[in-house]
Amino acid sequence: MLRNAFRLHRWGMIGYGVVLCVSTYVQAAAFIQVAGTSAAGRAAFAASMTALAGQLPYILPQPFRLDTLDGYVQWRSYGPLALVVMIWAIAAAAAAVRGDEDKQLVDYWLAARVSRARLVASRLAAFGLAALVAAVLGLLGYLAGAARYEQVNLSGAAGKVLTLWLLIVTLFALCYLIAQLMASIRGAQAAGTGVVVVLYLIDVLGRTNHSFDGLSWVSPFKWYDATTVLAPGGHLDAAGVGLSVALIVVAGVLSALAFAHRDVRGPLFALPPREVSPKDGAPSPLLSWPVARLLYRQRWIVAGWTLITAAMAVYMVGLAHTVVDSAINLPGMREFLTHGSGGDPYRGFIAAFWFGIAQLLLAGFAVHLVSGWASDDTEGILTSVLSMAVHRWGVIAERAAAALVGIAVVVAVGSVAAAAMAAGVGTTLDAAAVFRASWLLIPFALTYAAVGAAVSADFPRAAVGVLGVLAFLSFLVYELAPLLKWPAWAADLSVQQLYGTPFLTGVFWNGLWAMLAIVAVGFGLATLLMQRREVGQ
Amino acid sequence: MSEAIRTHGLTKDYGAGRGLFDLDLEVRAGEVFGYLGPNGAGKTTTIRQLMGLAYPTRGSASIFGLDCHRQAVEVKRDVGYVPGEPPQFGGLRGREVIAYLGAMAGGVDQAHLKELVERLELDVSRRYREYSSGNKKKLLLVIAFMHQPRLLILDEPTSGLDPLNQQEFYTMVREARQRGGTVFLSSHVLSEVEHVCDRVGIIRAGRLVKVASLEDLHEIRLHRVEIEFAGDVPVEPIRRADGVDGVTIENHRVHCVVRGSFEPLMAAVAGAHVVNLSSHEPSLEDTFLEYYSEARTEAVASTC
């Protein structure tokens, strides 16, 4: 049972383990480059970063000993990783309860005389094991990155890894309990996200206003932040560790009790069935038109990513003044922000940070679109579509056109939000530069979509994994190439590199042609593969 | 009568003896053709070839004279299809699924669609994920019938349907035939094809072993019978009765297998005092195994 449950977490473990490893490695390796080696330089760096931390309490914990490599890694890497592992815990818990039941795995396990309590214990233990492996990979990243420059603090790092592991398992246990109350996997994800985000915001409240310090102790994120053992002079917070263990045990016991008192595939408390009016859900006329019908089916994905992108645009652009003003005196920062921006550091910030984040968001959006196409295939919808008078090439053409429209909507709304926010905070942006950098995001995202279309046309089950790895490697190459002084051809393997820095330096034409070529080849190959493949097996 | 479906040496070889082999089949326009076989016999593989969803290793298949692969889109304008495995439309409502696929099919008469929905008592305002497996099957039937296609290809269409809806489905099939339509219906339930089919093709281990009329089907059909007598058992008349085999006697109880009509057995026990008589139809798999193993034994004996 434990082995089977562990197998179900293996891909999450590998994926998040690699993310943790790369994050700690990159931040450890980057410290010397950004903070320098002199005590005075590091003190100035720490002062600037501390000022910056005050502006970013939603992402970063309170700083501690930022003049040291270990303090910096703890703050800059382990801090935001709480947000990253939160996504894993929510998704894994919803899948472990509702996903397993939807797939009827739980029926088989229970029929095989596995008790409900043992099933809950096995799922928690299996995820705990997977989370431990991922957290240890994060430790290895830190060791690899830090050992090149300084003596590593192994015991301190182990303490931070312990609290990270406890945070992941605590969130999983909590979401596992919440999923017992819900009737569907989406409901479990939504409720889990709601509760975890509230707990995170309570911790953020404590970061921004010390009068909320007491309240913030209800949040597992606070228990995690309270341990500062990696940095010199830091400590392992025993209360935080104890509370985490207690919550895991309580949530596990309550989950077992809830599972024992509910039906498989049913919520703990069932609401009376809703009366459905015959007029409910009249079909949208969009369902009758090619492209529009696919967009209609993916409307929540498009709407969600549009909102996220617009919100991030407003947040990042709104921060431009405060972040730039607090960081401009850092060694090298003025050069970084004004290089190519005509001497305007605010423009430089928006180019580097907003359009950088927009690339990540659009890559994520493209992966989400591809996951929808792959699901159509594995869930039999493609079989239904191809049993109608529809050409196989038409399916790919429709996917390409829907992706183009969806990406254009996300880009347009995000860019308008960014421009409006910039105007609101008094940062003058060159409209032509914003337009240029924005429309180039379309071929950028389509590049990912085209690769995803080709993979999903032949291996739908592998499409999301392959595209996710590709996006991650692309990001990795873009980040590591300058840091590790890789040759230009290696850097050009990154799609981010092909996008260039159009906001500051104009269109990188070779990159654009390369992206368009990938788009054409990707969707062309998808058409060929779809034409010759067998569907529905 | 023209042909609706024709296959020539149609083969899909999955290796290790699995798949479909050298299928030569003709389904006439206007008939209801039952495609009968146990699980894993190759019924769905055949249907996937006809629908152009899978490609043959060799051989060909055509529908109304159009090649099922090269002219797949033209073929499907005339075809309604129910897949064996229902798709997962998630949060879409029933009527949204109908609108989505109906727009692709084209030519859906809304009055006819409404009638279908009412006949099958399908609540199309519910979300697909809320449907039971029977309701999912009903929705797929609505989608297959909604554009009144010339040919219906139905892969085990009644699995999951309750008896009342099964009867409604049989009526719909008969009406489709009366309108001049052709129905190709796969099943592993012998009694089902007897309800509605004009002819039956029997497939086993990937090979078509027989194409029969309904009358021929009765020869294949067998029943396991148990008779309990109050007094002596008329052993010899029972053993001599036509179509009665495998007779075993246990005290006052007789077990035997009856193939075809029950009349000879009833005549054999007519003078005796029968206390109890029970009969049941074995699974199609058992029927086939018994029928074909016997047929093979007889063939071997006749060559000796």
Instruction: Identify the bridge partners of residue B80 per DSSP, sorted by sequence position.
Output: B152
A371-425 tens-digit pLDDT: 889 989 888 999 999 999 999 999 999 999 999 999 999 999 999 999 898 888 8
Q: What is the pLDDT of residue A409?
A: 97
Which residue, among B303, B44, B37, has the nearest Cα to B190 in the 3D structure?
A: B37
Pairing of strands B58-63, B3-15: antiparallel
Give CA angle at B120 (B117, B123), nearest 5°. Answer: 60
Calculate the dihedral angle through the C-alpha atoms of A443, A340, A318, A209, rounding to the nearest 10 degrees: 120
State the CB neighbour count (10 A cutoff) for residue A37.
Answer: 9
Cβ of B83 and A384 within 8 Å? yes
Using a CB-CB cut-off of 8 Å, the residues of chain B touching A184 are: 129
Are A62 and A50 within 8 A, CB to CB? no
Give CA angle at A382 (A381, A388), nearest 5°. Answer: 100
Q: How far apart are CA A8 and CA A127, in angstroms?
A: 9
pLDDT at A136 over 70: yes
Instruction: Identify the bridge partners of residue B3 per DSSP, sorted by sequence position.
Output: B28
Q: What single DSSP character describes residue B129?
A: G
Cβ of A534 and B95 within 8 Å? no
B104-126 tens-digit pLDDT: 998 889 999 999 999 999 999 88
Could you say which of A287, A385, A388 has the minimum Cβ distance to residue B99? A287
Q: How far apart are CA A463 and CA A453, in angstroms?
A: 8
A333-349 tens-digit pLDDT: 676 677 666 677 777 77
Q: What percentage of residues in chain A have a pLDDT greater than 70?
A: 93
- Using only C-alpha atoms, chain B has a radius of gyration, in whole angstroms, of 23
> What average pLDDT does this structure show over A204-220?
82
Phi, psi of B35 (to 5 degrees): -115, 105
> What average pLDDT does this structure show over A237-255?
96
pLDDT band at residue B24 using 50, 70 and 90 as cut-offs: very high
Q: How far apart are CA B43 and CA B184, in angstroms?
A: 11
Q: How far apart are CA B192 and CA B177, in angstroms?
A: 16
Could you say which of B55, B85, B92 has the minimum Cβ distance to residue A534? B55
Which residue, among A415, A408, A403, A406, has the nearest Cα to A310 in the 3D structure?
A: A415
**Cβ-Cβ contacts under 8 Å for A520 (sequence gap 6 or more):** A450
Q: What is the pLDDT of residue B304?
A: 39
| Dihedral sign of CA atoms A45, A50, A54, A57 in order | positive
In this prediction, the answer to ipTM > 0.85 reads: no
Cβ of B125 and A280 within 8 Å? yes
Using a CB-CB cut-off of 8 Å, the residues of chain B touching A380 are: 83, 85-88
Q: What's the order of all strands across the beta sheet hosting B207-213?
A: B79-82, B151-155, B182-187, B32-36, B199-204, B207-213
Cβ of A387 and B73 within 8 Å? no
Pairing of strands B18-28, B3-15: antiparallel
Q: Any idea which of A143-157, A199-213, A427-441 has the lowest mean pLDDT? A: A199-213
Q: How far apart are CA B142 and CA A281, in angstroms?
A: 18
pLDDT at B182 over 90: yes
Which residue, among A447, A461, A456, A444, has the nearest Cα to A507 in the 3D structure?
A: A444
Are A346 and A427 within 8 A, CB to CB? yes
pLDDT at A269 over 70: yes
Phi, psi of A11 (to 5 degrees): -70, -40
Ramachandran region of residue B42, left (φ > 0), alpha (ψ -120 to 50) or beta? left
Mean pLDDT of chain A: 87
Q: What is the pLDDT of residue B292?
A: 60
Separation of CA B200 from chain center: 8
Q: Which residues of B lie inside 8 Å of A (Cβ-Cβ)?
A: 48, 51-55, 72-74, 76-77, 79, 81, 83, 85-90, 92-93, 95-96, 98-101, 103-106, 123, 125-127, 129, 143
Could you say which of A281, A284, A384 has the minimum Cβ distance to residue B101? A384
